[in-house]
């Protein structure tokens, strides 16, 4: 029997291996140089301490470079065959439960959330086998009202999408795009105008209710679900709420064409002060339990509320992996890359992750251990619920829901499953569902599933299956990175460290692949050393690198040039421009010296029991002037964040050191130029990378420039560092 998908190895892997081997030799020579040229006592204590620090930094960078090669050593890609799936499985396609999670109606507006819900309700998939669940962790009646409005609008939107093959299926995203050649069709144009007016009217009603801060009595009387808000409901204190808005079993639940509508459910799990709710992991686990009673689809797709469906056939493509007769029984989940529809031309904040998506994640897939990234992932329900492979394996079509209880009975039963007390003395959050106690609950959950014997796959289709909203301000981008780096380093320091927990359970290459991300936070330390100590040493005339005329200079030059040349080629091959590659270099330095460093510190503090895990929600809404600057590729520094103080201080330190170093060489000791050339180059590159920082400090006058308080603090700290004796 022909397979439902095929796998192909990426090209140019041999040339990469040759390149990696030569770089490895260069790195070894650099470390040897550090050891054999260790400063003697008469050369001064300052240089000795700086030398020890730079050796440790070089050593960590070398280890991390080796780890990064694990995800580049063997890269593969998959190609599904949807036509074969239809021929063999059309009559027995499994039920699919789609989980959409939201946590704050301000940071994640209800109109944004329902666009995602409407996009997944419109999939090219039998509606009677499709169930959509919205988890509202804020318990907001405005989100419930928006979902109720969306259920009415779906009766028109779903048939419109399928009749005209609309892509993307998010109304907000689709109406924001040009309608294209089909505009010439009068029938199509009229349908567009009608559906757009209906959508705008719906949005207006929702936004007016939110602006007023209340929902009219007339509207509240239209659905019994509003009675849940008759008592006091706050974001952190409310009862469990489960409302089946559209019952897919009801023959009267049809769209305007008479076709069945998918099941649509609103859930707000119970939250009480003093009761740990475990953030998104807790919400997902409540969804798993509630859905098992209502629909019990053997396949689960989970999405963030801003990650809308961009391809109507995404479910069918994923099922090509989960239903393939040769390998379907061992695949636990199929992960799609996170891709965004609001990336500016040159990717100002390096949010596109082109190299990560096309190379690194595909490289981890070659070890059958694709990472679970928290959104855009199709799960086998049994593997997500703690089943071990092959001990607890069941065919994907065996899970069926034959529950004939009424809607009211199902809602009452579901509320119990979404209560705070349900998980007490159970395996939920440990051996069942998503793992608790970590900000990166998705990554650690994927690891535990793989360690139970399952395999996972990474699938990057040419047409993005899902598109989301990337941060459009530097502050938000760094907060997001801090949360990720902290959560992943927390995994490394826990019992779930891949080298310990995964030993003998997953391949060694997969263990290294995980650490490519788990070690983001400690990567901040050698980076901070390189952007602080060499510039200070330059200002004091202390050399930390070989002379340009020395043979030892060759490995340093080769590794630096070769790595950057390879990085440029890799980036260009993945779709970057030269300018976006340069922006990526800037953002890597900013992330490592701010977000990763704070993530490292917070993680250590929490490991010592001095703090608890917190979860920062990334805001999805920005003002028009911020968006205008983003589209013009101007970095945003409006807030007085401590991270911006660090960014500005490091930029000023390198600028002052470069100027001071040149002055000393020209007027005091021109012969020192050869000894300090490497440090001059490093400082020079840092200055070039930080040009937008200098502009924000001294040139720009718009609202996105550096606040005066940040400029004052950075100037003070830089002056202090340069004037004090270097110890």
Residues taking part in catalysis: 137, 442
Supply the angle between the helices 524-539 and 708-723 in degrees, to the nearest 10: 60
Q: What is the DSSP string of 404-450?
A: ---HHHHHHHHHHHTSTTTTTTSSBTTTBSSPSS-TTHHHHHHHHHH
Whole-angstrom distance, CA of residue 397 vs CA of residue 94: 6
Whole-angstrom distance, CA of residue 100 vs CA of residue 554: 54
Residues 643 and 595 sit within 8 Å (Cβ to Cβ) = yes
Residues with Cβ within 8 Å of residue 7, at least 6 apart in sequence: 76, 77, 78, 79
**β-pairing verdict for 466-467 and 455-458:** unpaired
Structure tokens at 504: 């003998």
Three-state secondary-structure class, residue 491? helix
Residues 328 and 134 sit within 8 Å (Cβ to Cβ) = no
Closest CA to 721 of 631, 655, 641: 655
Whole-angstrom distance, CA of residue 414 vs CA of residue 399: 19
Q: CA dist 309 to 13, 169, 280, 314, 469, Å?
A: 33, 6, 20, 8, 12
Structure tokens at 160: 């419109």
Whole-angstrom distance, CA of residue 206 vs CA of residue 201: 9
Identify the DSSP state of 398. Answer: S
Residue 7 bridge partners (DSSP): 78
**β-pairing verdict for 76-80 and 466-467:** unpaired
Whole-angstrom distance, CA of residue 523 vs CA of residue 60: 8
Residues 435 and 450 sit within 8 Å (Cβ to Cβ) = no
Identify the DSSP state of 335. Answer: E
Whole-angstrom distance, CA of residue 121 vs CA of residue 123: 6
Between vectors from CA 32 to CA 27 and to CA 36, what angle results, nearest 5°? 155
Q: How many CB atoms lie within 10 A of CB 345?
A: 10
Cis preceding linkage at 390, omega within 30: yes
Whole-angstrom distance, CA of residue 183 vs CA of residue 16: 48
The residue with tokens 């040339």 is 15
Three-state secondary-structure class, residue 265? strand
Structure tokens at 62: 């070398």
Whole-angstrom distance, CA of residue 466 vs CA of residue 113: 14
Q: CA dist 237 to 143, 242, 267, 286, Å?
A: 16, 16, 15, 16
Helix (H) or strand (E) holding 291: helix 279-294
CA 4 to chain centre: 29
Whole-angstrom distance, CA of residue 286 vs CA of residue 175: 34
CA 365 to chain centre: 17
Whole-angstrom distance, CA of residue 100 vs CA of residue 108: 12
Whole-angstrom distance, CA of residue 44 vs CA of residue 552: 22
Identify the DSSP state of 222. Answer: T
Residues 427 and 435 sit within 8 Å (Cβ to Cβ) = no
Residues 309 and 169 sit within 8 Å (Cβ to Cβ) = yes
**β-pairing verdict for 263-268 and 130-136:** parallel
């Amino acid at each position: 029997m022909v397979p439902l998908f095929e796998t192909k190895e990426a090209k140019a892997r041999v040339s990469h291996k040759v390149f990696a081997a030569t770089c490895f030799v260069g790195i070894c020579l650099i470390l040897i140089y550090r050891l054999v040229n260790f400063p003697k006592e008469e050369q001064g204590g300052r240089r000795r301490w700086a030398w020890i620090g730079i050796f440790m930094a070089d050593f960590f960078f070398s280890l991390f470079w080796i780890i990064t090669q694990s995800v580049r050593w063997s890269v593969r890609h998959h190609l599904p065959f949807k036509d074969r799936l239809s021929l063999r499985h059309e009559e027995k396609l499994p039920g699919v439960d789609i989980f959409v999670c939201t946590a704050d109606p301000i940071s994640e507006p209800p109109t944004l959330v329902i666009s995602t819900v409407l996009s997944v309700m419109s999939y090219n998939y039998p509606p009677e086998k499709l169930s959509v669940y919205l988890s509202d962790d804020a318990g907001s009646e405005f989100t419930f009202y928006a979902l109720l409005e969306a259920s009415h609008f779906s009766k028109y939107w779903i048939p419109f999408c399928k009749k005209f093959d609309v892509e993307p299926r998010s109304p907000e995203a689709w109406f924001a795009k040009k309608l294209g050649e089909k505009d010439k069709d009068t029938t199509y144009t009229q349908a567009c105008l009608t559906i757009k007016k209906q959508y705008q009217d719906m949005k207006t009603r929702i936004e007016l209710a939110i602006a007023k801060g209340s929902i009219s009595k007339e509207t509240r009387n239209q659905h019994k679900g509003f009675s849940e808000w008759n008592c006091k409901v706050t974001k952190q204190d409310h009862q469990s709420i489960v409302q089946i808005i559209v019952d897919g079993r009801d023959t009267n639940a049809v769209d305007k064409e008479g076709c069945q509508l998918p099941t649509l459910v609103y859930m707000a799990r119970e939250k009480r002060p003093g009761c740990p709710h475990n953030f998104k992991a807790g919400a997902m686990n409540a969804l798993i339990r509630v859905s098992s009673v209502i629909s019990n689809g053997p396949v689960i797709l989970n999405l963030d509320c801003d990650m809308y469906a961009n391809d109507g056939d995404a479910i069918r493509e994923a099922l090509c992996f989960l239903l393939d007769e040769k390998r379907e029984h061992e695949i636990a989940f199929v992960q799609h890359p996170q891709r965004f529809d609001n990336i500016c031309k040159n990717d100002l904040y390096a949010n596109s992750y082109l190299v990560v998506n096309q190379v690194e994640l595909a490289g981890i897939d070659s070890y059958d251990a694709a990472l679970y990234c928290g959104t855009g992932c199709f799960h086998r329900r049994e593997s997500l619920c703690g089943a071990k492979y092959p001990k607890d394996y069941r065919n994907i079509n065996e899970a069926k829901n034959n529950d004939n209880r009424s809607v009211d009975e199902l809602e009452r039963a579901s509320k119990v499953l979404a209560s705070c007390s349900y998980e007490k003395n159970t395996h939920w959050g440990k051996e069942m569902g998503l793992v608790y106690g970590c900000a990166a609950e998705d990554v650690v959950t994927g690891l535990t599933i793989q360690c139970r014997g399952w395999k996972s796959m990474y699938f990057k289709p040419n047409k993005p299956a899902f598109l989301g909203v990337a941060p459009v301000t530097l502050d938000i981008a760094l907060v997001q990175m801090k949360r990720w780096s902290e959560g992943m380093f927390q995994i490394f320091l826990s019992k779930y460290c891949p080298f310990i927990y995964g030993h003998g359970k997953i391949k060694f290459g997969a263990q290294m692949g995980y650490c490519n991300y788990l070690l983001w936070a400690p990567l901040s330390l050698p980076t901070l050393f390189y952007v602080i100590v060499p510039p200070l040493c330059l200002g004091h005339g202390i050399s930390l690198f070989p002379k340009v005329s020395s043979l030892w200079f060759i490995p340093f030059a080769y590794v630096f040039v070769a790595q950057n040349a390879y990085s440029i080629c890799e980036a260009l091959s993945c779709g970057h421009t030269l300018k976006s590659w340069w922006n990526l270099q800037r953002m890597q330095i900013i992330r490592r010296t701010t977000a990763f460093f704070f993530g490292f510190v917070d993680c250590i503090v929490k490991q010592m029991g001095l703090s608890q895990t917190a979860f920062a929600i990334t805001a999805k809404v920005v003002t028009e002037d911020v968006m205008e600057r983003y589209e013009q590729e101007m970095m945003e520094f409006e807030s007085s964040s401590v991270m911006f103080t660090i960014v500005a201080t490091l930029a000023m330190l390198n600028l002052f050191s470069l100027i001071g170093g040149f002055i000393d060489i020209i007027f005091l000791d021109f012969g020192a130029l050869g000894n300090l050339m490497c440090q001059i180059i490093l400082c020079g590159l840092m200055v070039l990378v930080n040009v937008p920082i200098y502009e924000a400090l001294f040139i720009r006058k718009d609202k996105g420039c550096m606040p005066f308080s940040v400029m004052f603090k950075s100037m003070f700290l830089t002056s202090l560092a340069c004037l004090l004796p270097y110890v």
